[in-house]
Chain A
Amino acid sequence: MTEEEEEDNNSRSDGALHAVGWRRRKRRLLSPAARLHLSVLRGTHRWYKDLHVYQLEHPTQVIEWTSARTVCVAGYSPSKNEILELHLPLKIFADENKGLCAERDFKVVHGGFTDGPVRCLRYIPGTRCAVTGDGLSSNLQVWDLGGDDSDVIRRTGSIEGRRRRTGVSEGGSRIAARLLSQPQILHGAQISDVQLTELSSGQTLYQLESDSADPLSSLHFLSDTVFLAGCSNGNIYVADTRTSAAPQLSPPPASSGESVLWWTDASAGPDPSGCRVVRLSSSGQALVSDLRNPGGAVSRAQLDVQTRCCSPDNVRVSWAPVLDDCIAVSGFSGAVQIYDTSVWRSEPQEARPLFEHRGHAVSPEQSNDGVPPVLVTSHVWHPKRPRTLLSAASDGSVHVWDWVDQSAADGQTEAVEKR
């Protein structure tokens, strides 16, 4: 008997023992996964304002907003995959009459089939177009997401990337998209490959002049013409598509090791020079810098992440669009962490997350018998709702969650270390 059960027995009459015995039997009727889940449930009902858990048929590595209420996801298995546009459940948006809205499900509003894996997916704002990369070559596929008259996502064309003799980096091309008068795609697998292609004509409008073969981990538009290219070796290049001037380079901190990989995100702002950039390394180092002084760091921290099994395909770091100074980090494990960078200093210190979403790691589908651990493959913030995020993991789960800032809720300053 466990301690608990013994205690129960000693304090109960015979009649009640029968009830206790039944309770014990009933507890055993729950599977280990269900019991674990219930214990998480016990704690977490305070931590989330909203929590929705879905299971896709196949896992996705991409989540991309195509409107304020729809996202695109796509599979990454080696051959045929599905690309889906999902409408978020109405319950999330029913702010006033939330109680009266029972709609909790995703709706598949458009769907299509790809011939290969989808490692990168970018929506072109203001259109019904998206561009994907399969991670195998630097060529990209162009898609029509469909309108009201059809629910099929169709491939409408492709964009050729520049080939390079040194071969393509892992993860293939990175993509950024914008709509000026015409949809334009910025793409490349390495710094020397980066080019801006006009979608309709296929014409190359700009090419980044550099001999460096640094593989890219991301591309971001900071303004209509200024963009930032983050490389996996930690270098950051900032360039302007109007000029052919050499891009501005800022290397990572000198202390980073040889085989360390880096990921980057840049916060969009009205003024590109005021843009903040966050860099994250595979050893868990995080660095925030300002584009006015891209080489220097504004603040640094050592994040509380597991660094042993991160795959370069999965790691994501992103600025919160609404919450000042907050970033989300995922891909190191089955969790998504939210950090408040405003409390970071110029000397690196250990930072504890403001919030950790661990739902993917305790999903009931996971078993303990030699199955590889579940890793979060992607996350995105909602563009307008301050604490709403979507996250996806390698087991096909997709979560939509709206977390509660415990420190604010409890009136205590809890997790965040202040000097």
Chain B
Amino acid sequence: MPEIKVTPLGAGQDVGRSCILVSIGGKNIMLDCGMHMGYNDDRRFPDFSYITQNGRLTDFLDCVIISHFHLDHCGALPYMSEMVGYDGPIYMTHPTKAICPILLEDFRKITVDKKGETNFFTSQMIKDCMKKVIPLNLHQTVQVDDELEIKAYYAGHVLGAAMVHIKVGSESVVYTGDYNMTPDRHLGAAWIDKCRPDILISESTYATTIRDSKRCRERDFLKKVHETIERGGKVLIPVFALGRAQELCILLETFWERMNLKAPIYFSTGLTEKANHYYKLFITWTNQKIRKTFVQRNMFEFKHIKAFDRSYADNPGPMVVFATPGMLHAGQSLQIFKKWAGNEKNMVIMPGYCVQGTIGHKILNGQRKLEMEGRATLDVKLQVEYMSFSAHADAKGIMQLIRMAEPRNMLLVHGEAVKMEFLKGKIEQEFSIDCHMPANGETVTVTTNPSVPVDISLNLLKREMALGGPLPDPKKPRTMHGTLIMKENSLKLVSSEQALKELGLNEHQLRFTCRVQLQDPHSDPDTLHRIYTHLKSVLKGYTIQHLPDGTVMVESIVIKVSSSAEDTNTKVLLLSWSYQDEDLGSFLSTLLKKGLPSGLC
């Protein structure tokens, strides 16, 4: 039976790294190659031994597809391609290709330089890995090889995030990566057409949440900023150049207008350049509103937000500063943090996840004394706020996506089966499809029912239609006679005569003859007539004719009577039938061997 196999790589119940293997139509595909941010040892990498115990992965994988630039989806990519070994194609969208290496390099620096780890990929490895990347455009079908094709769809969530449709023959799989169904201030909502994949693969992590509204998160953010400004404090917001920074800037700008606030808002120059650069490149990836504004003027020319100069950090009075990098691990944001940390009137707002080893991570874990270079300690007296603005789908979102794509099966990864029973039941009930929930390392096999398209010759079609009967009904298959010809990659159904003609063969007719002896005192014609009457009473519903040339015909079977030369009471019946009437012919000969019943006239 044709089947698709899906295996989420990972150990035990841990969530936090995405790497899924799919076997479809003889092709092997790796979806995402994430790093587990919670481990410090090899457990952070996916377990590639599932694919092969030793040696390079090139021979075992047809392609690798990365959904977006978050490290739990691409963090192990250089390790996989350069340290384990993979030389095949790696697919990702243009923005992901541009941003991935920056995040990977940052991550590498933190892990190796700051934490002194050794079994880790190098800068050169990141570069070599990215050379293998083939960028994807939205809604564009890419032929990986003769049989495998992939297509990227908009996923929302972060800049460049994609959901990917994978097709081999008539079997297909859609992998969602991380997505969200409600539009953001700067990103649209995920969208996919009714592609009806055999399997829709999605994370289950957020499937059982109901998200607090964006406006409440924003309200909280504005409230915290406002309170700090009101008491004369300074607010530091470390950001990565893209995405959230714009959103928060728009929010603050609007709020400053409404509340008529005067305190200055700054963003560091590194931010503007990078942001503008990327936005110009990837303008099609943001939502309609941003695109309209950007077309009219530059993204970062706000009325209240000005470029930052490092000397401003020492200015008295309240202010808000957006600075890179996002995890406070180096650069300007760290410099500003060091200056402001000692004052409890100040605040730092962390808008996202911070990797272990960074100052960001430490203060988010409640650490109030930090060891800096040269053994100096920094007392963290300012207020630390962790606010998550990342856009994820929730329970409602998953149902919406299923409604959009209409998959035949649903597959949820990264969830505990006991915690997913309700969602499974909900999906099964509402959509009448199976919902699978493999544990990490477990393979789910989904049987598919691919339809094989076959061309039918017009003659054969006409002939079948001429037979009459009820109209074709997919639920009631009807037998038809024809010959299937497979030439190259095409399948054709033709009538037998046409097939014989094409093959240059002659049709042979088979005819069977048998003699049955019968004791009957009547004359030959009378005996024939008696046979006719007998058969008419037994074989109701069959065409039985008594022909003037002295034969009885049952369908195509011919029956003749003649007397034996030795004895006129011994009749010899000659039965002759064609191959098509084999069954009936055999039946008749057996029947007539039994003789004629006496009551006949």
Interfacial residues, chain A to chain B (CB-CB below 8 A):
18-20, 22-23, 25-27, 29-30, 37-39, 41-42, 44-45, 51-57, 82, 86, 89, 97, 99-102, 104-113, 148-153, 364
Collect the chain B residues with CB atoms within 8 Å of residue A53's CB: 212-213, 215-216
Residue of A nearest to B206 (CB): A105
| Interface residue B509 (Cβ < 8 Å from any Cβ of A) | no
| Interface residue B226 (Cβ < 8 Å from any Cβ of A) | yes
| Interface residue B487 (Cβ < 8 Å from any Cβ of A) | no
Q: Is the CB of A110 within 8 A of B422?
A: yes
Q: Is the CB of A38 within 8 A of B254?
A: yes
Q: Is the CB of B210 within 8 A of A55?
A: yes
- Report the separation of the CA atoms of residues A89 and B216 in the bound assembly, to the nearest whole angstrom: 13
- Report the separation of the CA atoms of residues A109 and B423 in the bound assembly, to the nearest whole angstrom: 11
Name the interface residues of B285-321: CB closer than 8 Å to any CB of A.
Answer: 289, 292-293, 296-297, 301, 303
Collect the chain A residues with CB atoms within 8 Å of residue B386's CB: 99-102
Interface SS of chain B: helix
**Which of A25, A29, A113, A149 sits near B425, CB closer than 8 Å?**
A113
Residue of A nearest to B388 (CB): A102
Stretch at the interface among B94-102, B155-163, B391-399: B391-399
In the assembled complex, how far is the CB of residue B210 from the closest CB belonging to chain A, in whole angstroms?
4
Residue of A nearest to B218 (CB): A41
| Interface residue B219 (Cβ < 8 Å from any Cβ of A) | yes
Collect the chain A residues with CB atoms within 8 Å of residue B220's CB: 51, 104
Name the interface residues of B212-247: CB closer than 8 Å to any CB of A.
Answer: 212-213, 215-220, 222-223, 226
**Which of A37, A86, A105 sits near B211, CB closer than 8 Å?**
A105
In the assembled complex, how far is the CB of residue B357 from the closest CB belonging to chain A, in whole angstroms?
18
Collect the chain A residues with CB atoms within 8 Å of residue B257's CB: 23
Residue of A nearest to B399 (CB): A57
In the assembled complex, how far is the CB of residue B2 from the closest CB belonging to chain A, in whole angstroms?
33
Collect the chain B residues with CB atoms within 8 Å of residue A97's CB: 366
Q: Is the CB of B296 within 8 A of A86?
A: no
Residue of A nearest to B208 (CB): A108
Q: Is the CB of B219 within 8 A of A100?
A: no
- 13 additional contacts (CB under 8 A) given A22-B301, A27-B254, A113-B426: A22-B297, A23-B257, A23-B303, A42-B258, A51-B219, A53-B215, A54-B211, A55-B210, A97-B366, A107-B208, A108-B209, A149-B418, A152-B422
Collect the chain A residues with CB atoms within 8 Å of residue B429's CB: 113
Collect the chain A residues with CB atoms within 8 Å of residue B209's CB: 105-108
Collect the chain A residues with CB atoms within 8 Å of residue B388's CB: 102, 104
- Report the separation of the CA atoms of residues A381 and B230 in the bound assembly, to the nearest whole angstrom: 32
Q: Is the CB of B293 within 8 A of A29?
A: yes
- Report the separation of the CA atoms of residues A39 and B383 in the bound assembly, to the nearest whole angstrom: 27
Q: List 15 A-B contacts (CB under 8 A).
A: A22-B301, A23-B257, A25-B296, A29-B292, A41-B218, A42-B255, A45-B222, A52-B216, A54-B213, A56-B210, A100-B364, A100-B386, A104-B216, A111-B426, A152-B425
Given contacts A54-B211, A55-B213, A108-B210, contact A151 B426 (CB under 8 A): no
Collect the chain A residues with CB atoms within 8 Å of residue B425's CB: 111, 113, 152
Residue of B nearest to A57 (CB): B396
In the assembled complex, how far is the CB of residue B84 from the closest CB belonging to chain A, in whole angstroms?
34
- Report the separation of the CA atoms of residues A89 and B220 in the bound assembly, to the nearest whole angstrom: 14
Name the interface residues of B419-441: CB closer than 8 Å to any CB of A.
Answer: 419-423, 425-426, 429
Collect the chain A residues with CB atoms within 8 Å of residue B149's CB: none
Interfacial residues, chain B to chain A (CB-CB below 8 A):
208-213, 215-220, 222-223, 226, 250, 254-255, 257-259, 289, 292-293, 296-297, 301, 303, 364-366, 383-388, 394-396, 399, 418-423, 425-426, 429
Q: Is the CB of A45 within 8 A of B396?
A: no
**Which of B210, B215, B289, B399 sits near A105, CB closer than 8 Å?**
B210
Residue of B nearest to A85 (CB): B422
- Report the separation of the CA atoms of residues A250 and B168 in the bound assembly, to the nearest whole angstrom: 76
- Report the separation of the CA atoms of residues A84 and B422 in the bound assembly, to the nearest whole angstrom: 10
- Report the separation of the CA atoms of residues A20 and B303 in the bound assembly, to the nearest whole angstrom: 8
Q: Is the CB of B210 within 8 A of A106?
A: yes
- Report the separation of the CA atoms of residues A112 and B422 in the bound assembly, to the nearest whole angstrom: 7
Collect the chain B residues with CB atoms within 8 Å of residue A108's CB: 208-210, 395, 422
- Report the separation of the CA atoms of residues A51 and B221 in the bound assembly, to the nearest whole angstrom: 12
Q: Is the CB of B217 within 8 A of A104?
A: yes
Residue of A nearest to B303 (CB): A19
Given contacts A41-B222, A52-B216, A89-B212, contact A152 B421 (CB under 8 A): yes
Q: Is the CB of B212 within 8 A of A37?
A: no
Collect the chain B residues with CB atoms within 8 Å of residue A42's CB: 255, 258-259
- Report the separation of the CA atoms of residues A44 and B217 in the bound assembly, to the nearest whole angstrom: 14
In the assembled complex, how far is the CB of residue A108 from the closest CB belonging to chain B, in whole angstroms?
4
In the assembled complex, how far is the CB of residue A410 from the closest CB belonging to chain B, in whole angstroms?
15
**Which of B219, B226, B366, B422 sits near A151, CB closer than 8 Å?**
B422
Collect the chain B residues with CB atoms within 8 Å of residue A153's CB: 422
Residue of A nearest to B365 (CB): A100
Q: Is the CB of B226 within 8 A of A111?
A: no
Residue of A nearest to B392 (CB): A105
Collect the chain B residues with CB atoms within 8 Å of residue A44's CB: 219
- Report the separation of the CA atoms of residues A25 and B293 in the bound assembly, to the nearest whole angstrom: 8
- Report the separation of the CA atoms of residues A342 and B182 in the bound assembly, to the nearest whole angstrom: 45
In the assembled complex, how far is the CB of residue B15 from the closest CB belonging to chain A, in whole angstroms?
14
Collect the chain A residues with CB atoms within 8 Å of residue B213's CB: 52-55
Collect the chain A residues with CB atoms within 8 Å of residue B222's CB: 41, 45
Collect the chain B residues with CB atoms within 8 Å of residue A110's CB: 422
Q: Is the CB of A55 within 8 A of B396?
A: yes
Given contacts A99-B386, A107-B209, A113-B425, contact A37 B215 (CB under 8 A): yes
Collect the chain B residues with CB atoms within 8 Å of residue A148's CB: 418
Collect the chain B residues with CB atoms within 8 Å of residue A149's CB: 418
- Report the separation of the CA atoms of residues A104 and B213 in the bound assembly, to the nearest whole angstrom: 9
- Report the separation of the CA atoms of residues A150 and B425 in the bound assembly, to the nearest whole angstrom: 12
- Report the separation of the CA atoms of residues A186 and B51 in the bound assembly, to the nearest whole angstrom: 61
- Report the separation of the CA atoms of residues A45 and B222 in the bound assembly, to the nearest whole angstrom: 8
Collect the chain A residues with CB atoms within 8 Å of residue B211's CB: 54, 104-105
Collect the chain B residues with CB atoms within 8 Å of residue A41's CB: 215, 218-219, 222, 255
- Report the separation of the CA atoms of residues A27 and B395 in the bound assembly, to the nearest whole angstrom: 32
Collect the chain A residues with CB atoms within 8 Å of residue B384's CB: 99-100
**Which of B258, B297, B395, B399 sits near A39, CB closer than 8 Å?**
B258
Residue of B nearest to A44 (CB): B219
In the assembled complex, how far is the CB of residue B461 from the closest CB belonging to chain A, in whole angstroms?
45
In the assembled complex, how far is the CB of residue B344 from the closest CB belonging to chain A, in whole angstroms?
12
What 8 A-B pairs have minimum CB-CB distances, sorted nearest first? A111-B422, A104-B212, A53-B213, A106-B210, A102-B388, A45-B223, A99-B385, A108-B208
- Report the separation of the CA atoms of residues A25 and B209 in the bound assembly, to the nearest whole angstrom: 36
In the assembled complex, how far is the CB of residue A51 from the closest CB belonging to chain B, in whole angstroms?
6
- Report the separation of the CA atoms of residues A53 and B217 in the bound assembly, to the nearest whole angstrom: 9
Q: Is the CB of A45 within 8 A of B219?
A: yes
In the assembled complex, how far is the CB of residue A359 from the closest CB belonging to chain B, in whole angstroms?
9
Collect the chain A residues with CB atoms within 8 Å of residue B383's CB: 99
- Report the separation of the CA atoms of residues A38 and B218 in the bound assembly, to the nearest whole angstrom: 10
In the assembled complex, how far is the CB of residue B437 from the closest CB belonging to chain A, in whole angstroms?
12
Residue of A nearest to B386 (CB): A102
Q: Is the CB of A22 within 8 A of B296?
A: yes
Q: Is the CB of A54 within 8 A of B212?
A: yes
- Report the separation of the CA atoms of residues A106 and B212 in the bound assembly, to the nearest whole angstrom: 7
Collect the chain B residues with CB atoms within 8 Å of residue A25's CB: 293, 296
- Report the separation of the CA atoms of residues A39 and B208 in the bound assembly, to the nearest whole angstrom: 32
Residue of A nearest to B213 (CB): A53
Residue of B nearest to A30 (CB): B254
- Report the separation of the CA atoms of residues A54 and B211 in the bound assembly, to the nearest whole angstrom: 6
Collect the chain A residues with CB atoms within 8 Å of residue B366's CB: 97, 100
- Report the separation of the CA atoms of residues A82 and B422 in the bound assembly, to the nearest whole angstrom: 10
Among B210, B215, B429, chain A packs the most CB atoms within 10 A around the CB of B210
- Report the separation of the CA atoms of residues A52 and B211 in the bound assembly, to the nearest whole angstrom: 9
In the assembled complex, how far is the CB of residue A140 from the closest CB belonging to chain B, in whole angstroms?
22
Given contacts A57-B399, A99-B386, contact A29 B421 (CB under 8 A): no
Q: Is the CB of A82 within 8 A of B426?
A: yes
- Report the separation of the CA atoms of residues A97 and B366 in the bound assembly, to the nearest whole angstrom: 8
Collect the chain B residues with CB atoms within 8 Å of residue A38's CB: 254-255, 258
Collect the chain A residues with CB atoms within 8 Å of residue B297's CB: 18, 22
Residue of A nearest to B250 (CB): A26
